[in-house]
């Protein structure tokens, strides 16, 4: 059974003009105005991995933008690793339920970025190394 990762193509939920795009991921997922926790933005250098962990109780959202990447995930009940190519031409948002290992690898030649936020503050983050370079 494939893990229930939800992909949201953000360009459809963005304002686009000659300057580029702007989006509000909190509004897109319907939590604008509600309390979220641990919002952070991270850079990912070419060839590097971010993530390689899971959360026991929290749902996490990852907004990936700025270049090409690979997003990997698997549930704790299966061996198969799923992956999705991110072209980098538009931001992509993933909703990751508790218990799903996840990782992002930068496959571009430039630094890319991700914004992550969770629905609870004290989410147990369990490190794993299910994805290798």
Which tens digits make up the pLDDT trace of 83-97? 999 999 889 999 999
What pLDDT is attached to residue 35? 64
Q: What is the pLDDT of residues 24-42, one digit of tens each?
A: 787 777 776 666 667 788 9
Give residue limits of the domains in the chain: 6-127
Q: What is the mean pLDDT of residues 100-118?
A: 94
Confidence band of 67 (pLDDT split at 50, 70, 90)? very high
State if pTM tops 0.75: yes
b/e map 39-73, b = 16+ CB within 10 Å? eeeeebeeeebbbbbbbeebbbbbbbbbbbbbbbb
What pLDDT is attached to residue 89? 87
- Residue 104, pLDDT > 70, answer yes
Task: Name the burial class of residue 105, with classes exposed (0-12), middle (13-18) and buried (19+) by CB atoms within 10 angstroms of its CB.
Answer: buried
Candidates 69, 63, 60; CA nearest to 102 is 60
CB atoms closer than 10 angstroms to residue 133: 6
- Specify the range with the lowest mean pLDDT, choosing from 26-35, 52-61, 93-102, 118-127: 26-35
Distance, CA of 82 to CA of 99 (rounded, Å): 14
Distance, CA of 70 to CA of 78 (rounded, Å): 20
**What is the topology classification, in CATH, of domain 6-127?**
Jelly Rolls (2.60.120)
What pLDDT is attached to residue 119? 81
- Residue 125, pLDDT > 70, answer yes
């Amino acid at each position: 059974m494939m893990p229930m990762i939800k992909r949201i193509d953000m360009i459809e939920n963005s304002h686009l003009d000659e300057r580029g795009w702007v989006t509000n991921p909190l509004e897109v997922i319907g939590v604008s105005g509600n309390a979220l926790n641990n919002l952070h933005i991270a850079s990912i250098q070419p060839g590097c991995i971010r993530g390689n962990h899971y959360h026991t109780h929290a749902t996490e959202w990852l907004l990936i933008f700025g270049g090409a990447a690979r997003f990997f995930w698997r549930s704790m009940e299966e061996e198969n690793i799923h992956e999705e190519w991110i072209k980098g031409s538009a931001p992509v948002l993933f909703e990751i339920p508790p218990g799903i290992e996840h990782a992002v690898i930068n496959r571009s030649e430039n630094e890319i970025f991700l914004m992550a936020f969770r629905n609870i503050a004290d989410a147990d983050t369990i490190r794993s190394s299910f994805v290798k370079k």
